[in-house]
Amino acid sequence: MAPNEVSVNHPDAVKALLLTTLPKGDWYKIVCFPDYRFSTPFSMLDPKDKNECSKYLSTGYLQHNVSKSEPAMDTNISKFIGWMDKFAAEKRPMDLDKFFTYVSFDITGDIVFSKPFGFIDQGKDLNNSIAMNTGLEMYIAFVGHLQWLHFIFANPFVTWLGVLPMGHLFDTTMTALKERQKNPDARPDLAGHWFKGLEKAKKDKSRLFDQRCLESFATANVGAGSDTVSAGLQSFVYHLLRLPGGWRRAQDEIREARRQGRCGGEVVSFNDAAGLPYLQACIKEGMRVHAPISAGLPRVAAGGGVTIGGTHFPQGVTLTVNPSVIHSSKEIWGPDAREFDPDRWLRPGAAEKEKCFIPVSLAEISHLRGTFVRIDGELIFDAVGRWLCFVPRPARGSPSAV
């Protein structure tokens, strides 16, 4: 697919590349926000450096820590439901893609800083922050493969000017982070764990984890975590609406759970949502057919090379695993690999297939997205599936509440 780079589509690729300690490809250097001075575990190519830095950040992502933010998530989801009720009462179409993004960003703000950004309150993009994040994604997609451009554009002077998307996202995050630092009595959140990690790193005299690393890591969380959830939500609604009987089946499962005394309240708890097998299958299938990460995840063959499916790749070759490619492989998922079929997750053999389910990079950022994407996403999925029916807007094909 490029000089010295091979895209690998094989059932063994995930284990051989993403679940090992191979160095990452140069593309990851792009994940320095707002410029090359701000390294994070994402941008560090050496797995030893990445692990050294991550140990000061990882405790916040334990499920029991993230779940402490569930009441705050519920508040944001209730506001989202309020907007759906408003559009339904007024019989107006609703741009769910935008509102999914608003609520995802605000929940991320609550999880990270104990304070939402305010998008779902206003029902709009504030200060063009989300639009700028979209521009950042385009920048990463293209300039990530042209690193010389990144060194030209992403430098301290351009950061000072604040003209590039990563500068805007960084400024938005820094405002929230500074406000959080002034509030030591805030409820437990990710930022609190990071501050503790920073103090420990200072005592350990870490050469990698410092204030800049923390700031850049927080910026990556805001951008990456929010978009991952929003993309999954949009895929869930879009595909389930087009599956005959699928939406009704998901609603019936929730109603049956309520009849049994579960799934009570306006917003269902994460534990109750986890006990809805068809809903869980729909969530996974939505993220399989439309992986939130569209870029390849490159690794570099180390000493001795790498052998995958009988093919040997010598040392120095960049091997890329693309989630969308793996998720559409007929060898892994069968002849209907490109079809939306939640029941594939309820059949025998699903556990084996899950080893090739990589909506987010398993080894690299599961600690970032994996936990709160599951909690955040499932709570919103359940709220959407439970409270409303949808019809597609004919003119644009986008789901609209009625």
Give the Cα separation of 260 and 10 in Å (integer): 43
What does the block give as tokens for 66? 């993230």
pLDDT band at 401 (very low <50, low <70, confident <90, very high): very low
Confidence of residue 371 (pLDDT cuts 50, 70, 90): very low
For residue 320, the surrounding DSSP H or E stretch is strand 318-321
Cis upstream peptide for 11 (omega within 30°): no
Question: What's the confidence (pLDDT) of residue 386?
Answer: 54
Q: Is residue 301 pLDDT above 80, yes or no?
A: yes
Q: What is the mean pLDDT of the chain?
A: 84
Q: For the purposes of burial, counting CB atoms within 10 Å of the CB of 32, is it exposed (0-12), middle (13-18) or buried (19 or more)?
A: buried
Q: What is the largest CA-CA distance in the chain?
A: 65
Give the residue, 113 or 341, on which the prediction is more confident.
341
Q: What is the pLDDT of residues 149-187, one digit of tens each?
A: 888 877 787 777 766 656 667 788 888 899 998 888 788
Give the pLDDT band of residue 32 (cuts 50, 70, 90).
confident
Delineate the domains of the chain, giving CATH numbers in brackets. Answer: 5-394 (1.10.630.10)
**Beta-bridge partners for 311:** 308
Residue 382: predicted pLDDT: 60
Q: What is the mean pLDDT of residues 110-127?
A: 92
Ranked by mean pLDDT, the top range of 92-106, 116-130, 171-185, 330-344 is 330-344
The pLDDT value given to residue 399:
45
Residue 153 confidence (pLDDT):
79
Instruction: Give 247 or 376, the one with higher predicted confidence.
Output: 247
**What gap in Å lies between CA 278 and CA 327, rounded to an integer?**
19
> Which of 51-55, 59-63, 282-286, 304-308 shows the lowest mean pLDDT across its residues?
59-63
Residues contacting residue 381 through CB under 8 Å, at least 6 positions apart: 233, 236, 273, 279, 282, 283
Sole residue written with tokens 């990589």: 358
* pLDDT score for 370: 45
Q: How big is the CA angle at 84 (ends 261 and 136), to the nearest 5 degrees?
A: 110
Asked if pLDDT for residue 47 goes beyond 70, the answer is yes
At 86 the pLDDT is 93
Whether the per-residue pLDDT at 348 is higher than 90: the answer is yes
The percentage of residues in the chain with a pLDDT greater than 70, rounded to a whole number, is: 88
**Which pLDDT does position 390 carry in this prediction?**
53
pLDDT of residue 366: 42
pTM of the model: 0.87
Residue 345 CB-half CA count within 13 A: 21
Give the whole-angstrom CA distance, residue 289 versus residue 359: 9
Q: Which contiguous run of DSSP H or E holds residue 391? A: strand 390-392
Average pLDDT, integer, range 200-218: 93
Torsion (CA) 160, 126, 395, 287 in degrees, nearest 10: 70
Which pLDDT belongs to residue 11?
92
**Percent of the chain clearing pLDDT 90 (strictly above):** 41
Query: Would you place residue 364 in the very low, low, confident or very high pLDDT band (cuts 50, 70, 90)?
Result: very low
Residue 384: predicted pLDDT? 64
Burial code (b: 16+ CB inside 10 Å, e: under 16) for 266-292 equals: ebbbbebbeebebbbbbbbbbbbbbbb
From residue 286, alpha-carbon distances to 159, 241, 327, 330 in Å are 37, 11, 11, 17
**Residue with the larger pLDDT of the pair 270 and 369:** 270
Q: Taking residues 125-137, what's their average pLDDT? A: 82
